[in-house]
Amino acid sequence: MSDVCLNAVSEVIKLRLRDGELSEEMLPASIIETEFVNAELKSPQRCPQCSGQLRSKEKNESKQIFRTRCTGRYGETHEETVPFEEWRFFDLQWNSVMQRVASAIGRDLEHIEPQSLPSSVHGVTKDGLRISIIGGRNPKKEATSVYIHALRENQPTLLLVPDEEVDSYLEMQSLFTTGSLVYTVPLSMLGSDSEYLEDPVETMEQIQALEKEIARNLDEESHKVVERIHSNPRYMLTELNHMRLLRANKELPQSSGTRLEEVGHAALSTLTPTYPDAGGEDDRGDELPDLVFKITDIAPDPDDKYTSVGGIVDAKSGDEADFGSEETEGKHTEYLSRARRHLDVEYISHVFIVNEIDGKKDIEFFDKMDEYYKPNENLVIWYVDALAMLLEMALTANLRNELQLIGGDFQKVFYPFFVTEAFKQTSVSGITRAVGQQVEDGPGKVQKDYNEKYSQRPRLHVITTDVVKERIRTFAASQGEVENDLAEYFRDPSLLSEGY
């Protein structure tokens, strides 16, 4: 295929992922009669003139027209004649498109993942390279899911984006420290020389192969360092720790509300599986939460005490979370309703990530929401610095290893934060945040009033650094079953003398 036609394909991909169906006038002439598009003739469902209900319609193949008859909105009957061309729509043949993209970088396509449409499409080559083409109304949110997938699967990925410039994507990518795992290219460069596309992809794959080769020859401790190259997004900690300062210092404009969403998303994605394309609006225009996550399959669990948890997350990037103006019925009740319908979990946690809370607004907001919560639902408010503290534990290999020796699964550390019955059984459920003027000789009147009200609302969990710190300390102080098993292994000389 010529570079001219390949450039046309890249333009049509952007249009398709953004607008959905394509009319003939939207397509470049060079692509219409190719294997990359497929035409479908649709018939009018309403009057082409007034959008009224049709009484009848006739399809005339010989004249290539539709004839419609409408009663009209005010009873006046009228007829319309519409040529087929106006009702012929085109869609991309994604298998052919992805085959061509793969061949442009010297690869053979193995399969595509069409279920990711309409905002993105993904394919995998026979040698394991993932090709991701993104678009839609919020391509950067689609890019986030690509970065997370690459990190989780440790899979080299070619990311094709609709924008002419990729710098803003590279800034996002730095949050996830994907390193050589993801190579981001504008769609417009599909027809460019191989030095901009094929050569960098080949280099990326060579780096991954070299890392795997080195890892096979490393001892256990060094091997952890190599793995952390792929899954240690430490820049997130810097962002989380400085988020409120940047806001107070006016270095973050009011329009930068998505920054905490993106960083919070990246942080939670490091801790537990998430659904990165949840935020924004759905195809009906309804608001969606910034993030949805699930906690499942915690092991070992011989007593079957760990339930599956689904979380719907809203990030509040202001200096203080404005719970006073937060809608309940409508926005947040719809969040909960969707979670009940679509998340196959036993427990649902309604989660906020905040820099600070104004006064007792968390109590007031919980009281407004409480009537909508079911017995297996709660409200969990995470302070940004508390999330950073937990993330630090997760990203420090030896600390995480120590905690996993005790519990067998790092998720056991933070699981109680999201499940009320488990939270009440910990030593941290009575820890409250500082409210009002603090005095040296004990809690003041405002603090005492807040503490009492907080204790009366067990399904409200406010997670501060004090809560996280105490939880980690008490968790680490217990002698866990995994640690006991390993210690017994090294104490039993018969196990060592018998060899393998």
Say how many C-beta atoms besides its own lie within 10 A of residue 131's C-beta.
Answer: 22
> Where does the pLDDT of residue 281 fall: very low under 50, low under 70, confident under 90, or very high at 90 and above?
very low
- pLDDT of 305 above 50: yes
Across the chain, which distance is largest between two alpha carbons, in Å? 98
Rounded CA separation 349/339 (Å): 10
Answer for the pair 103, 95: CB distance below 8 angstroms, yes or no: no
Q: Would residue 34 be called left, alpha or beta, if left means φ above 0 and alpha means ψ between -120 and 50 degrees?
A: beta
The pairs formed by 123-130 with CB atoms below 8 angstroms and a separation of 24 or more are 123/98, 127/205, 128/155, 128/156, 129/105, 129/155, 129/156, 129/157, 129/158, 129/201, 129/205, 130/155, 130/156, 130/157, 130/158
Our measurement of the distance from residue 360's CA atom to the centroid of its chain's CA atoms, rounded to an integer in Å, reads 31
More confidently predicted of 48 and 153: 153
Among the residue ranges 42-51, 260-269, 489-498, the one predicted with the least confidence is 489-498
Structure token pair of residue 398: 């030896």
Q: Please tell me the predicted confidence (pLDDT) of residue 286.
A: 58
Scanning the structure block, which residue is given the tokens 């979370």? 321
More confidently predicted of 55 and 423: 423
Q: Which residues contact 142 (CB under 8 A, 6 or more apart)?
A: 119, 120, 134, 135, 136, 277
DSSP 8-state secondary structure symbol assigned to residue 181: G
Structure token pair of residue 169: 């994507």
Say how many C-beta atoms besides its own lie within 10 A of residue 305's C-beta.
Answer: 12
Among the residue ranges 75-84, 106-115, 228-237, 319-328, the one predicted with the least confidence is 228-237
DSSP 8-state secondary structure symbol assigned to residue 272: S
Structure token pair of residue 201: 């992809």
> Where does the pLDDT of residue 323 fall: very low under 50, low under 70, confident under 90, or very high at 90 and above?
confident
pLDDT tens-digit profile of 382-439?
A: 998 888 888 877 776 556 666 676 667 788 989 999 999 999 999 999 999 988 776 6
Among the residue ranges 36-45, 281-290, 319-328, the one predicted with the least confidence is 281-290
Q: Provide the percentage of residues in the chain whose pLDDT is more than 90.
A: 22
State the Cα torsion 120-266-214-108 to the nearest 10°.
Answer: 0
As annotated, the residues of the chain forming the CATH 3.40.91.30 domain(s) are 237-487
Query: Residue type at 424?
Result: K
Scanning the structure block, which residue is given the tokens 């440790």? 154
Q: Which residues contact 435 (CB under 8 A, 6 or more apart)?
A: 359, 360, 446, 447, 450
Q: Is 70 helix (H, G, I), strand (E, B) or coil?
A: strand
What is the architecture, at CATH level 2, of domain 237-487? 3-Layer(aba) Sandwich (3.40)
Rounded CA separation 1/223 (Å): 45
Strands 78-83 and 377-383: unpaired
Q: Would residue 396 be called left, alpha or beta, if left means φ above 0 and alpha means ψ between -120 and 50 degrees?
A: beta
Rounded CA separation 220/223 (Å): 5
